[in-house]
Structure 1
Amino acid sequence: MLDFSDLPRFDLIQPEHVKPAITQLLADGRALVEKLTDDSTPATWADFAGALSAGLEGFGRAWGVVGHLHSVNDVPAWREAYNEMLPEVSRFYTELGQNLKLFDKYRALRKSAEYSTLTAEQQKIVDNEVRDFRLGGAELPEDQKPRFQAIMEELSQLSAKFSENILDATNAFAEIVSDESLLAGLPDYAKDAAREAAEKAGVEGWKFTLHAPSYGPLMQYAENRDLRARMYRAYATRAAEIDNGYSKPEWDNGPLIKRILELKAEDAQMLGFNNFAEVSLYTKMADTPAQVLDFLRDMAKKAKPFAEKDIAELKAFAKDELGITDFQPWDAAYASEKLMQARYAFSEQEVKQYFTEPKVIAGLFQVIESLFTVKVKEDKAPVWHEDVRFYRIETPAGELVGQFYMDLYARETKRGGAWMDEARSRKRTATGIQKPIAYLNCNFARPVAGKPATFTHDEVITLFHETGHGLHHLLARGEEMGVSGIHGVEWDAVELPSQFMENYCWEWDVLQGMTAHADTGETLPRVLYDKMLAARNFQSGMMTVRQIEFSIFDMRLHYEFDPKGTSTVMDVIDEVRREVAVLIPPEWHRFPNSFSHIFGGGYAAGYYSYKWAEVLSADCYAAFEEAGDPFDPVVGKRFLEEILSRGGERPALENFKAFRGREPSPDALLRHSGMIAA
């Protein structure tokens, strides 16, 4: 774990290495801070700020490996190793954020004559550090700092426990089906996967779980309504207090949510903010919680009439064509698939057969190469699982740009969802440029029955999305780690590159190059593509208000909600649903208990970022549409230079305006979503 000479040694790193390695790095880090804050150390870039960044990089990389393995290989030994050191790591970062001597050095550098001679990247890092010290509690009275540190440590532990509870609850449930007639409607790939899962578990029949590759197809295709209802209830009550027959009281995330909100409110109050939403927005593009709520409600106002039309059509179709007179949420995915088939004469299952993994990966790489004038090649590295692959990005001349791991399949020991993370950042060193490395993680169904894996179109979009995050990290051109790639980028602009890349999943020429039918090898037929395109905005109103529902709920929790008051978290989401939702779940649904983005991740008072960044990304893609070519070389070069490679060197709004020549407009997003005329 202490070998930082090149790639992480996943072939050798073991859980028992974590404590001694991290303990040593923490000691080294504290010694470095002691040295750099001494009066004899000048408050210059080279002697202080640059030296601190370089000196702490190894610690960040090592702990990043531990966190990564906790996410992708959550076996008891790795969970224990991670959780044992998590409080120590949180304490160290809190100490850094509260160290007044460090703060004084940065302020002295900010006021010095040298500051004006620093590069734009270096100036931005110094400015960010001065800002972040306030958020880290550096200006608190000495007698309050221990309490603030305790809050940070407890929050990090609660966040990890929240995600672990979801994973444990997800893994605990299994629906074993012994009568194949109950699986009517399910595609063969879903039944094959369930059969393999049952064989692996040593049981007869078909095993279905709450993991995405198993749960999703069952809800979408299974004709048996009782089966869908059981699966829905099991999924909706994960990590909750509801008696669902498989969960445990210690997995209930309800008390954790209450405690997390209490601590964040206390954190905000100690720092002089009115609420945690203000803390969150202090480093984002948006200015105030009220501005965010106005933005969301304005989008809801535009989208809700389309959502109401969507749900009315769905319920009418379910009643008239499927005989479902008492429409329930567990009917939504099934009825929607049937309606889409009836309206557009195709199904996602039909489309899925064309998106075979080798062609999708090759097509993705072709898009990257065409847009950004690079080459993507297979590479070799130690990996944490046999499914993981490793690639390198090169310039046309063969110079290394960056490298990335790709871990695509779902596993019981891997947290759900899809995400990008960094293994190493780009920076200038004494010997040249250190090249960045990224992790790209998804949860797709693995190959079954000896055939290559096939992806739904939504999964292809997910892959492009996470690759967009990866490119933001890998195509950075900065030389200072603190603002390289995604570092220093406002959270509500981080999703811009990822959502931008999604657009290429709808381009005919791209799809021709990334499809080959699993049985025939035929590329996607034009007639099927035209149906997909016609269905692109199928239920876009419903999907939009769903995202807005989550975003308003998140913002209100961290802006207006009193966790010590009489109202509950469920009261808040019920109010939000009455305001914007068109499909209301049962009262026993416990969505907040698995809302890991805001309670187990970094999106607290920031979930709106997805919709905010959608406006930015749609507007950026509109520049290519206006040029008449999704691969226009002039526009592509400008996008790379003004947005993608800039990292956090300058404010995201400046990046956007440098690319588009104006402020952002929501028109492109509304047009792409079919909510205003083209």
Structure 2
Amino acid sequence: MNNPLLDPTELPPFSRIKPEHVKPAIEQIIRDNESFVDGLLQDNKEFSWDTLQLPLDTINDKLSKAWSPVGHMNAVVNSEDLREAYNACLPLLSEYSTKLGQNRALFEAYQQLSNSDAFGTLDAAQKKVIRDQLRDFRLAGVALPDDKKEQFKELKKTLSELTSQFSDNVLDATMAWTKLIENKEDLAGMPDSALAGAKQLAEAKGHQQGWLINLDFPSFFPVMTYCDNRALRQEVYTAYSTRASDQGPDGSKFDNSEKINEILKLRHQLAGLLGFKNYAEYSLATKMADDPGQVMAFLEDLARRSKPQAEQELAELQAFAKDECGLELLQAWDIGYYSEKLRQARYAISQEELRPWFPAEKVISGMFEVTSRLFGIHFEQAEGIDCWHPDVRFYNVCSDSKIIGRFYLDLYARENKRGGAWMDECRVRRVTHDQVQLPVAYLTCNFTPPVGSKPALLTHDEVVTLFHEFGHGLHHMLTKVDYAPVSGINGVAWDAVELPSQFMENWCWEKEGLALISGHYETNEPLPSDKLKKLLAARNFQSAMMMVRQLEFSLFDFRLHKDYQEGINVQDVLNKVRNQVAVVIPPVFNRFQNSFSHIFAGGYAAGYYSYKWAEVLSADAFSRFEEEGIFNEATGRVFLNEILEKGGSAEPMELFVNFRGREPKIDALLRHSGILES
């Protein structure tokens, strides 16, 4: 069988990749790689960069090139056959990774290199690669006795399977619920764009009449924000907040409760095998934070500063709902709806009415212009590239007429596509024998697609999301590091990796930036000054409520992993966190944790706090632009040189200090968030 995953192509041949190709390709590459490592260790007694790290990077790159498109397609064009093939490879990849990490002879080869005279001749980025590798060997259990190594390997393998099953259940539960609305009056208050989307969704599902609601964000959000029908809001909220739980519409069919318990248990055991007290300590071994106490102090300090204002914001919302709308008791399914009413009353602006000024094409071209002014690069769309869906487009990133990076852009929500927004790597920059492999990124969002003859129109929130993911992409694509393990986002401490993404969001709130990314879809007229003033005035509307919501997620995640004990009651931990920091307490049936994919199926376990810490970094970094000019070319080039180009080649605090001239302060975050300490 001719297997496209084994072809050394510059870009993935998506149209040729079939589920039956996946497992045979991964099995063969793993066999070849293991054989290569054995030969490498037998053929060399003394090691150098060129005889150890370079060849290992090459075989790792081969595996990455085969697995990257498979993992990506599983997320964006999911099917039963592809999911089965993907899941069948997870234990193979986990076992291979752990086997490499526990290879004592390979570890000793790295130790020999780090202790040799040759190490002194390496550049700073190469030295960091070697130091990181030695750390990762220890975190993979290289020093464990054989029986413990086997136990560690089994734990990693089972965890990879469980986290994938968790993600599958969330996707399946999300796709399983729909509601056909036959009476338009039941959707009173909904904007025309949302109604058109619901009508288009119904037609796509074969309904001759009516409007179809589902749990994808572009469908869920307008109901919760605009729909006057309180009973429908309650029904949709209940379905969404009980996804993948025993409280959900499908009962225990997609229930993640036991998977959560098992994941936590196995993570705790894995950390214990390596001598850590808990998984939080294990997680921090690769992060900026020194210890769990430092993280908890940071989060609790932010909560202390934010909660009084959040309580005041909620009291204002409750008073508004009662005085203006006659609602005595505010429920969870009322928060978004009445918040939008209050925003309208206070600022006379809504996300929905801003859509016409943010057509996707204008936003994208404006985003490119912002980036060009800051970093001196430009973008060119390339045609004829093999993609996984007709909506996907492809761009080259250019500097001085030379292509330095590339990316796929997949903007719109659709069936069989995982929700949310993310950036992932397709190809990583590396240099071998003067040959440069260009970095290639996937940028994925789930925005409302074009409806009928109307182009895709984004809310301002969606514009901010796009800039966020693009910031990740820039970090990956603008790197000048030549070594894959610290190129782009690789080797960057997890609690610093959100810095470029959150940093880029700032230009969505600046008058000069908004002038570039907005223009009416029919006339191209700029955002009117009155709407601009209202948008900026409303920027920090309920910002403290949003702050404590994020702190709730962060503290829940960190405490689960720091304080884990056999038989821990996950709901009880969440309830205690809410009692400490939350101002909105959800109903008892809410099972938010059962779809919290960031920590149970993504890379944020005992690390969700990273978003808040990175906000401190990004706000403080942007404050230099506020001082020197938001399009100050010289300042932009310093950020490019010290943060984006350096990737993971140095410690993030060192890079931040190089850019800012000092260590970060929390003041800018509080100021940008409009949180005033009493």
Cα distance in structure 1, aligned partners of 2:516 and 2:61: 40
Cα distance in structure 1, aligned partners of 2:626 and 2:453: 41
DSSP-derived class of the 1:37 partner: helix
The aligned amino acid for 1:122 is: Q
Question: What aligned pairs does 1:78-157 form with structure 2 within 5 A after superposition?
Answer: 78-157=82-161
Aligned to 1:211: 216
Q: Percent identity among equivalent residues?
A: 51
Cα distance in structure 1, aligned partners of 2:181 and 2:666: 47
Aligned to 1:336: 339
Aligned to 2:234: 229
Cα distance in structure 1, aligned partners of 2:596 and 2:293: 22
The aligned amino acid for 2:47 is: A
Task: Quote how far apart the aligned CAs of 1:561 are.
Answer: 2.4
Cα distance in structure 2, aligned partners of 1:371 and 1:77: 44
DSSP-derived class of the 1:306 partner: helix
DSSP-derived class of the 1:175 partner: strand
Aligned to 2:291: 288
Cα distance in structure 2, aligned partners of 1:215 and 1:151: 37
Question: What aligned pairs does 1:281-430 form with structure 2 within 5 A after superposition?
Answer: 281-380=284-383, 381-396=385-400, 398-430=401-433
Deviations, residues 68-101 of structure 1 (Å, cap 9, x unaligned): 1111111112101101111111110111111111
Aligned to 1:666: 666
Aligned residues: 671
Is structure 2 residue 463 aligned with structure 1 residue 455? no
Cα distance in structure 1, aligned partners of 2:659 and 2:522: 44
Cα distance in structure 1, aligned partners of 2:438 and 2:421: 24
DSSP-derived class of the 1:521 partner: coil
Is structure 2 residue 179 aligned with structure 1 residue 175? yes
The aligned amino acid for 1:34 is: D
Deviations, residues 594-642 of structure 1 (Å, cap 9, x unaligned): 1000000010000000000000000000011111x11101111111111
Question: What aligned pairs does 1:550-589 form with structure 2 within 5 A after superposition?
Answer: 550-562=553-565, 564-565=566-567, 567-589=568-590
Cα distance in structure 2, aligned partners of 1:248 and 1:432: 55
Cα distance in structure 1, aligned partners of 2:348 and 2:254: 43
CA contact (8 A) 2:620 2:669 kept: yes
CA contact (8 A) 1:483 1:648 kept: yes
Task: Quote how far apart the aligned CAs of 1:335 are.
Answer: 0.3
CA contact (8 A) 2:169 2:255 kept: yes
Cα distance in structure 2, aligned partners of 1:587 and 1:248: 16
Aligned to 2:225: 220
The aligned amino acid for 1:104 is: E
Cα distance in structure 1, aligned partners of 2:340 and 2:523: 25
CA contact (8 A) 1:379 1:391 kept: yes
Question: What aligned pairs does 1:473-488 form with structure 2 within 5 A after superposition?
Answer: 473-488=476-491
State which of 503, 517, 529 in structure 1 corresponds to 2:532. Answer: 529
CA contact (8 A) 2:557 2:605 kept: yes
The aligned amino acid for 2:576 is: E
Cα distance in structure 2, aligned partners of 1:417 and 1:268: 29
State which of 15, 19, 22 in structure 2 corresponds to 1:18. Answer: 22
Cα distance in structure 2, aligned partners of 1:584 and 1:249: 24
State which of 73, 77, 81 in structure 2 corresponds to 1:77. Answer: 81
Question: What aligned pairs does 1:477-626 form with structure 2 within 5 A after superposition?
Answer: 477-562=480-565, 564-565=566-567, 567-626=568-627
Cα distance in structure 2, aligned partners of 1:236 and 1:44: 54
The aligned amino acid for 1:125 is: V
Task: Quote how far apart the aligned CAs of 1:41 are.
Answer: 4.7
Cα distance in structure 2, aligned partners of 1:532 and 1:376: 29
Aligned to 2:170: 166
Aligned to 2:436: 433
Aligned to 2:244: 239
Deviations, residues 364-423 of structure 1 (Å, cap 9, x unaligned): 111111111011110131100000000001113x11110000000011211110000001
Cα distance in structure 1, aligned partners of 2:67 and 2:436: 22
Give structure 2 stretches of 5+ with no counterpart: none
The aligned amino acid for 1:660 is: R
The aligned amino acid for 2:245 is: A
CA contact (8 A) 1:41 1:47 kept: no
Is structure 2 residue 49 aligned with structure 1 residue 45? yes
The aligned amino acid for 2:214 is: T
DSSP-derived class of the 2:42 partner: coil
Cα distance in structure 2, aligned partners of 1:98 and 1:432: 31
CA contact (8 A) 2:46 2:112 kept: no
Cα distance in structure 1, aligned partners of 2:44 and 2:540: 63
The aligned amino acid for 1:110 is: S
The aligned amino acid for 1:417 is: G
RMSD after superposition: 1.1
Task: Quote how far apart the aligned CAs of 1:478 are.
Answer: 0.7
Deviations, residues 282-310 of structure 1 (Å, cap 9, x unaligned): 01000111110100000011111110111
Deviations, residues 37-79 of structure 1 (Å, cap 9, x unaligned): 2263532111112111112211112111111111111111210
Aligned to 2:638: 638
Cα distance in structure 1, aligned partners of 2:564 and 2:141: 23
CA contact (8 A) 2:498 2:610 kept: yes
Deviations, residues 242-295 of structure 1 (Å, cap 9, x unaligned): 1x43x2524100000000000000001100000000000001000111110100
Deviations, residues 120-172 of structure 1 (Å, cap 9, x unaligned): 11110000000001111111101111111010000000110001000000000
> Which aligned runs of 4 or more in structure 1 are off by greater than 4 angstroms?
none
CA contact (8 A) 1:187 1:349 kept: yes
The aligned amino acid for 2:651 is: P
The aligned amino acid for 1:572 is: V
The aligned amino acid for 1:468 is: G
CA contact (8 A) 1:125 1:483 kept: yes
Distance 1:41 1:57, change over 3 A: farther
The aligned amino acid for 2:405 is: G
The aligned amino acid for 1:602 is: G
CA contact (8 A) 2:366 2:516 kept: yes
State which of 253, 258, 270 in structure 2 corresponds to 1:255. Answer: 258
The aligned amino acid for 1:36 is: L
TM-score of the two chains, using structure 1 as the length reference: 0.98
CA contact (8 A) 1:171 1:412 kept: yes
Cα distance in structure 1, aligned partners of 2:204 and 2:378: 40
Distance 1:147 1:668, change over 3 A: same
TM-score of the two chains, using structure 2 as the length reference: 0.98
Cα distance in structure 2, aligned partners of 1:62 and 1:622: 42
Moved more, 463-472 or 16-25: 16-25
Cα distance in structure 2, aligned partners of 1:407 and 1:168: 21
Give structure 1 stretches of 5+ with no counterpart: none
Task: Quote how far apart the aligned CAs of 1:333 are.
Answer: 0.5
DSSP-derived class of the 2:186 partner: helix
